[in-house]
Amino acid sequence: MKRTAGKLADGREIIYFDDTPEAPPRSAVDTRDLPRSHPLSEVRRDPLTGEWVAMAAHRQTRTYKPPADLCPLCPSTPGRPTEIPESDYDVVVFENRFPSFAQGVPELPSTVDGMPMVARAAGRGYCEVVCFTSDHDKSFGALAPSRVRTVVDVWADRTAALNALPGVAQVFPFENRGEEIGVTLHHPHGQVYGYPFVTPKTERMLAVAAEYRDEHGRPLMGDVLAAERAAGTRVVGTSEHWTAFVPAAARWPVEVHVVPHRQVPDLPALTDAERDDFAHFYLEVLHRLDALYQRPLPYIAAWHQAPVAVGRDLSWLHLEVFSVLRAPDKLKYLAGSESGMGVWINDATPEQIAERLRATA
């Protein structure tokens, strides 16, 4: 893989990741007249739950469902410059023009309107866009294994880089796919967030993992993985280094966890063999998901990895892929119980979901 860094017209960083070291030089200049952005992100702690909530009002003006010929993630062409100055690329990463979190955000009062129970702080973090291919009409599942391998290396590169930034507490690579999920740019891409706090879900998972290790002396995910592989009823597929299974308490109508057989805290800790194996195995998982309803499945693919400074010995890297599609033409809406109380109700059992995914072979 070849890595080349540059700057966009407004000073944002852009990095090209080419599949091979023999790739041509990346020296195109961003010719747009862009003003420097001044995001005003902030975070406030909910006094009733203790959870941080991000406020990013400047994102209201972000690009929304442009036609294909105006896609900002496609390569630039004569007379139509985009976010990527080059005329072609393999994988590219750049700072989000409309970030939820950013460096250089101004300091704020430590509380809201003098309410000491509502903590407030600058939303100081990082948000990047990861374009998986220059082909607007492709999908992640249609990439070659060699390109997926490049993307894995990119995720690892960005995790290590953002982990080192001041104020970043947790790095989260993810992909949103499909309008039903809320995607507003159809070009195949994902994002990487550098949060200024440890996310509520990760905090809860670490607390449960700590309780389990204190009681049993073993990592929780390791025992879950061993039990799922032994039972087999929820296993969707397995490879030399990875297993994909529907979790026994699945929340979503389609939900798969892709878990390495070895405990590692994050993507940078994966070996070359584990990365190579994932590149082939994950494509198999995605093909099964798309075959489930004989249509491209809208999904979120979310990497769970260790925070920067806490729980690294408790964390077990894994990828969670889930969808809101409960039938070819029906969506799972988060209604009263899920949205109001956080109590999930699934319309299918995990065993049924896994059986349907295995049958897609």
Return binding residues for Zn(2+).
Answer: 71, 74, 136, 187
* C-beta neighbour count of 112 within 10 angstroms: 16
Tokens standing for residue 212: 């389990």
In a 3-state reduction of DSSP, which class is residue 210? helix
Q: How far is CA 232 from CA 226, 243, 244, 348, in A?
A: 10, 11, 11, 18
* CA 221 to the chain's CA centroid: 20
| C-alpha to C-alpha distances, 171 to 72, 90, 193, 345, nearest whole angstrom | 25, 23, 6, 29
Question: What 3-state DSSP class applies to 221?
Answer: helix
List the Cα angle 75/80/84 in 5-degree steps: 30
Contact 5, 21 (CB under 8 A): no
Helix and strand totals (H; E) in the chain: 5, 17
Counting Cα atoms < 13 Å in the Cβ hemisphere of 61 gives 5
Q: Which residues are catalytic?
A: 189
Q: Are strands 126-131 and 235-238 parallel, antiparallel or unpaired?
A: unpaired
Q: Which residues are annotated as a binding site?
A: 71, 74, 136, 187
Q: How many CB atoms lie within 10 A of CB 165?
A: 15
Taking each helix axis as running N to C, give the angle between helix 272-292 and helix 350-359, from 0 to 180 degrees, rounded to the nearest 10: 90
